[in-house]
Amino acid sequence: MDIYSSKFAIIVIIVLVTILALQIMTNDNTNTLIDSETCELYVTDSQINAKQYLGEFDEKCLGFKNLNT
């Protein structure tokens, strides 16, 4: 099979799209959570079960906390 043939290009594209689809389907770190005490956004790493803070705050949570004080 010649690398310049259209069949080879189509096979490579299909393989790459399949790999990308599998990575998207198996990625479970996309859930963004809110820390209830600080209202800071974080994601959890399922492999080591740890929080990674994103340095961003949820405006609705901050507003609700300000109403309670």
pLDDT digits (tens, 9 = 90+) for 3-48: 678 888 899 999 999 999 998 887 765 567 888 888 889 888 777 7
Q: Are 35 and 61 in a shared domain?
A: yes
Instruction: State residue 64's pLDDT score.
Output: 83
| Mean pLDDT, range 47-62, rounded to an integer | 85
How many domains, the chain?
Answer: 2
Q: Are 24 and 38 in a shared domain?
A: no
What is the span of the domain harbouring residue 12?
Answer: 1-28
Alpha-carbon span 34 to 4, nearest angstrom: 50
Cβ neighbours, 10 Å, residue 64: 11
Alpha-carbon span 57 to 27, nearest angstrom: 23
Q: Are 41 and 66 in a shared domain?
A: yes
Q: Which helix (H) or strand (E) holds 41?
A: strand 40-45
Helices (runs of H) and strands (runs of E) counted in the chain: 2, 3
Q: Are 47 and 59 in a shared domain?
A: yes
The model's pTM is: 0.47
